[in-house]
Amino acid sequence: MRQALLEHLVLPAAAALTPFKTARYVELMERSERTSLREQRSEQMALVRELLVHAHRETELTRRKLDGAGIHPVDVSDADAFLRVPITSKDELREGFPDRQVARSHRGAWLRYSNTSGTTGKPLMLVQDVTDISWKYASILRSRRLAGVPEMAHQVRLTPNECQPCLADGGSPAGSFGAVRRSSDPAALFMLLERQVMNPLFLRRRMLPPFWPGGGPVTPVDYRRVVRDLTRAAPEVLTIYPLYAMLLARFLRRTGVEAPRASMLLDFSAALCTPRMRAFLTETFGQRTAQGCGGCEFARYGASCEHDEDHLHLAEQYCYVEAVRADGRQCASGELGNLVVTSLRSRAMPIIRLEPGDVGRILESPCACGRLSRRIEHHGRIQALLRNADGRWVTDRACWDALLCLPGLALFQLRQRTERIYDLDLVLDPGAPLDRTALDAALAGLLGASAQVVERTVEGITPEASGKLQLVKSATFEEFRPAAARARRVPTN
């Protein structure tokens, strides 16, 4: 009853009577995905050109980048012309904030501020207007629809970190209703809406504490408490960091404790879930799965459907995603490239050709679900992209798929010194002996037969500042990045 009331009455009423048009945008994305790739690309390029004209007129950052490259926004009429627009780094979004990045006409308006976890040492502040926020939520609801679950299903999140609304100065009242209400900052209203209204009442969204603090010491995880918390929460959708899911699954198999169940879906977020991992987790949890990709800057720009959990449909009306070669040209369909993302609906703080630090393959082949939008096969972080002893590029996805399901191995961290020399830390699973033969074969296949690997056994892997685990650290990935972007630091995990 609750879900039907929200989906068929409350959301449509909000779209008709308020500036929050989320329900309308979900339908727009759904209709667009059924049109031809040519039609979708034509619409995207129109949105790109409109965004560039606005950003060039309104923001110093975009104006300087376009003028420096000799580009007039109205001349960007196709994907090849857009490739000439310089790539943006997260450092550029930080430097001189907000004067260089926030559109002049939006300053002082009703805006939502949020900040990232500060993985690179300084949090990234983001600014969104009501339209951008509505598209953000629409992308999330679209991912539910793709996965075949109700858009307003009760969700529990068990992830390392999540971008949170904040005040314009980056701070936050204590979080209580009164503290937020008394704040003189207009951004406090968005905090109030999300914390006191949207998350608990509409989305029924609950966050569980992460396994470890970001950048802090590795401490033992009380998996029995995690199981109890999940069982009590009884989510319909459990959105979980895939490595948390793997560690929890190994505990369940080792102890025989009954797996907590999401009644509808196990949803993987914030990282990869490879085919072998998914098979292992599906068997352990007895639950259907889905996964998505995105970020604080653009919510869920890709999500899997019921017909294919490996390839994620791109939200083409919301973001324009490119896979780019080291020479700056666009990759062919199915070719591994550096991902570059443009938020088509960002007006308060335009996000144009951002390098989020991921690699993947974009596919133009149609899906069995009937949607014609492009799809992405996500291959993980670019800092994990290894050029091995044979000269081949080896991705995060390949390493995780080969190693994380090996008997006796709970976690690992592979650090590259050179193309032929590696350090490997192993966290052993106390529930099974390590299959040494399988490990050696997997390493030879990944790194090349002539690679030298120095191993040691450790108690745990230290998380990054974000709380995520970077299992593969490359010394060679920079050569995969577009040359023009190498002067800027790539975002860390």
Mean pLDDT of the chain: 89
Render pLDDT for 291-323 as a digit per residue (tens, 0 to 9).
999 988 888 999 999 999 999 999 999 999 999
Is pLDDT at 418 greater than 50 in this prediction?
yes
Which of the residue ranges 184-193, 343-352, 431-440 would you say has the lowest mean pLDDT?
184-193
Return the ∠ at Cα 216 (arms to 123 and 407), rounded to 5°: 115
Q: What is the mean pLDDT of residues 345-370?
A: 95
Is residue 264 a contact partner of residue 285, using CB atoms and an 8 Å limit?
no
Q: Which residue has tokens 């031809």? A: 36
- Of 201 and 391, the structure prediction assigns the larger pLDDT to 391
Predicted confidence band at 120 (pLDDT cuts at 50, 70, 90)? Answer: very low
Beta bridge partners of 240: 158, 268
Q: What is the number of alpha carbons within 13 Å of residue 454 lying toward its C-beta?
A: 8
Predicted confidence band at 124 (pLDDT cuts at 50, 70, 90)? Answer: confident
Q: DSSP label at 193? A: I
Report CA dihedral (393, 396, 401, 404) to the nearest 10 degrees. Answer: 130
Phi, psi of 230 (to 5 degrees): -70, -40
What pLDDT, on the 0 to 100 scale, is given for residue 8?
67
* 463 prior amide bond cis, ω within 30: no
pTM: 0.93
Predicted confidence band at 216 (pLDDT cuts at 50, 70, 90)? Answer: low
What pLDDT, on the 0 to 100 scale, is given for residue 19?
82
Rounded-to-integer distance, Cα 85 and Cα 66, Å: 7
Predicted confidence band at 97 (pLDDT cuts at 50, 70, 90)? Answer: very high
Helical segments of 208-274, H only? 223-233, 242-255
Q: Look at phi and psi of residue 309 and say left if phi exceeds 0, alpha if psi is from -120 to 50, else beta.
A: alpha
- Of 218 and 369, the structure prediction assigns the larger pLDDT to 369
Q: What is the mean pLDDT of residues 244-271?
A: 91
Is residue 421 exposed (0-12), middle (13-18) or buried (19+ Cβ within 10 Å)?
middle
What pLDDT, on the 0 to 100 scale, is given for residue 320?
97
- For the chain, the domains span 21-213+220-379, 386-475
What pLDDT, on the 0 to 100 scale, is given for residue 188?
75
* Residue from 235, 244, 260, 229 nearest 161 by CA: 244
Is pLDDT at 139 greater than 70 in this prediction?
yes
CB atoms within 10 A of CB 201: 11
Question: Hey, what amino acid is at 74?
Answer: V
* Residue from 407, 482, 403 nearest 444 by CA: 403
Which range of 17-21, 33-37, 184-188, 196-200 scores highest in mean pLDDT? It is 33-37
Which of the residue ranges 144-148, 178-182, 226-230, 448-452 would you say has the lowest mean pLDDT?
178-182
Is pLDDT at 454 greater than 80 in this prediction?
yes
- Homologous superfamily of the 21-213+220-379 domain (CATH): ANL, N-terminal domain (3.40.50.12780)
Q: Which residues contact 159 (CB under 8 A, 6 or more apart)?
A: 207, 210, 239, 240, 241, 244, 269, 270
Which of the residue ranges 16-30, 77-91, 340-354 would you say has the lowest mean pLDDT?
16-30
Is pLDDT at 126 greater than 60 in this prediction?
yes
CB atoms within 10 A of CB 407: 12
CA distances for 23 relative to 10, 13, 248, 314, angstroms: 9, 9, 35, 18
- Homologous superfamily of the 386-475 domain (CATH): ANL, C-terminal domain (3.30.300.30)
What pLDDT, on the 0 to 100 scale, is given for residue 119?
45
* Residue from 123, 199, 115, 152 nearest 26 by CA: 152
* Residue from 321, 312, 223, 316 nearest 272 by CA: 312
Contacts 24+ apart (CB under 8 A), 189-194: 189/110, 190/111, 190/112, 190/113, 190/133, 190/165, 191/165, 191/166, 191/167, 194/165
Which of the residue ranges 98-102, 105-109, 221-225, 469-473 would you say has the lowest mean pLDDT?
105-109
Render pLDDT for 143-198 as a digit per residue (tens, 0 to 9).
999 999 998 888 999 998 777 788 887 776 555 555 555 556 777 777 777 777 77
Which of the residue ranges 78-82, 187-191, 302-306, 442-446 would you say has the lowest mean pLDDT?
187-191
Name the percent of the chain lying above pLDDT 70: 92
CA 484 to chain centre: 24
Is pLDDT at 16 greater than 90 in this prediction?
no
Q: Which two tokens stand for residue 361?
A: 């393959």
Return the ∠ at Cα 354 (arms to 471 and 490), rounded to 5°: 40
Report CA dihedral (208, 396, 124, 159) to the nearest 10 degrees. Answer: 0
H/E run at residue 39: helix 37-58
